[in-house]
């Protein structure tokens, strides 16, 4: 289908062959939901062109990433949670910007039935579309979406910082549609997520020290894992806005097992940095809006025992 050539404000709803839902039946309800979420949050969705309902989110995402020439990132699949929706955006100008959303067919069916968590998922993905477009219009679209070279430490930090903000911005929209019980469950799972990924990373560090893993694979895997922790922390800190006592909720988020306790100051600083950015309009961000978040990302690597330094040309990772 010609996504690039489609007209603004024209959103197609399609389904892949294995999907257990018919697009013609889903389209009226999903379209109405999207319009309601857009109106209630004043979202800028000019580049939004397609919702694809899929029986296999990972396969559909990989296919579209390949078709669009985007980096093969796939979707998150951790023991602590599996992705059920994905936004893909491309284009380097206001006119060329395009976005699509891929939803699992089960999540789409649940949203049609009015399930709050499913509506939250759709709103979260629409939040991504809005954030990437509004940010691009105000401060410039990314020149490249290719993941940074693992040896380029400043770019690694910047890439993760961008991802953290995107998740925070999207979840700030999505959580508005979340039921009280779902919000409670998510907030109970957030520290479990940090501790679980932290434990697996520490095991990788131990394997390296025991010569069961080389430094290159340890470093590459740590970038993915640390990125996953920070992405969920972006969502977790956004949810703090929607509880009666955000300070108590933050205290619960940082109440981690002893092994992961070094994440406490990292999470507290990340929360402050994200709030500072959220209080400003994109156009008021300045030249280096993510510097504070980048520094916080560096502290996250240190929390698992990895100490990278970059001299402008070479990366050195110390693993004491």
Give me the pLDDT at residue 77, please: 64
Domain boundaries, the chain: 12-139, 153-318
Angle at 45 between CA 70 and CA 31, to 5 degrees: 100
CA dihedral 184, 186, 190, 193 (to 10 degrees): 140
Q: What per-residue confidence (pLDDT) applies to 301?
A: 98
Residue that has been written with the tokens 């979340």 in this structure: 178
**b/e map 19-35, b = 16+ CB within 10 Å:** bebebeebbebbeebbe
Which residues, including other chains, have CB under 8 Å from residue 119's CB and lie 6 or more apart? 33, 37, 111, 177
Per-residue pLDDT, 81: 65
pLDDT score recorded for residue 72: 77
What is the CATH topology of the domain spanning 12-139?
Collagenase (Catalytic Domain) (3.40.390)
Question: Tokens for 72?
Answer: 């093969």
Long-range contacts from 257-264, C-beta under 8 angstroms, 24+ separation = 257/195, 259/195, 259/198, 259/199, 259/202, 260/194, 260/195, 260/198, 260/199, 260/303, 262/302, 262/303, 263/194, 263/198, 263/229, 263/300, 263/303
3-class SS at 239? helix
Tell me how far apart the alpha carbons of residues 307 and 144 are, in angstroms, rounded to a whole number.
27
Distance (Å, rounded) from C-alpha 253 to C-alpha 242? 14
pLDDT of residue 5: 84
pLDDT of 78 reads 64
Q: Read off the DSSP letter of residue 212.
A: S
What average pLDDT values come out for the chain (320 residues) when binned by 10 residues?
A: 81 90 91 97 96 93 88 69 87 94 94 96 98 95 87 96 97 97 96 96 96 95 96 98 96 96 98 97 94 98 96 91
* C-alpha–C-alpha distance, residues 284 and 266, integer Å: 25
What count of Cα atoms within 13 Å lies in the side-chain half-sphere of residue 285? 22
- Rounded Cα gap, residues 149 and 215, in angstroms: 15
């Amino acid at each position: 289908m010609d996504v690039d050539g489609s007209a603004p404000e024209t959103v197609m709803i399609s389904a892949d062959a294995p999907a257990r839902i018919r697009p013609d039946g889903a389209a009226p309800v999903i379209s109405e939901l999207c319009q309601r979420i857009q109106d209630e949050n004043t979202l800028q969705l000019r580049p939004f062109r397609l919702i694809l309902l899929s029986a296999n989110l990972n396969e559909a995402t990989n296919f579209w990433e390949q078709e669009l020439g985007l980096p093969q990132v796939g979707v998150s699949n951790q023991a602590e949670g599996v992705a059920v929706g994905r936004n893909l955006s491309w284009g380097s100008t206001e006119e060329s910007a395009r976005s699509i959303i891929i939803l699992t067919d089960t999540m789409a069916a649940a949203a049609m039935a009015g399930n709050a968590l499913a509506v939250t998922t759709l709103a979260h993905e629409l939040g991504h579309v809005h954030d990437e477009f509004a940010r691009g219009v105000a401060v410039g679209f990314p020149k490249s979406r290719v993941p940074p070279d693992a040896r380029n430490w400043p770019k690694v930090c910047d890439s993760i910082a961008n991802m953290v903000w995107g998740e925070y911005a999207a979840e700030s929209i999505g959580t508005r549609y979340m039921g009280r019980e779902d919000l409670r469950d998510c907030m109970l799972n957030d520290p479990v997520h940090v501790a679980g990924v932290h434990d697996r990373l520490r095991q990788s560090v131990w394997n390296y020290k025991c010569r069961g893993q080389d430094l290159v694979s340890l470093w590459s895997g740590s970038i993915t894992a640390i990125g996953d922790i920070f992405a969920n922390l972006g969502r977790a800190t956004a949810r703090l806005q929607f509880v009666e006592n955000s300070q108590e909720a933050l205290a619960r988020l940082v109440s981690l097992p002893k092994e992961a306790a070094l994440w406490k100051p990292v999470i507290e600083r990340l929360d402050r940095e994200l709030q500072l950015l959220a209080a400003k309009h994109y156009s008021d961000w300045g030249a280096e809006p993510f510097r504070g978040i980048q520094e916080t990302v560096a502290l996250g690597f240190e929390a698992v025992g990895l100490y990278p330094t970059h001299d402008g040309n070479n990366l050195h990772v110390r693993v004491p």
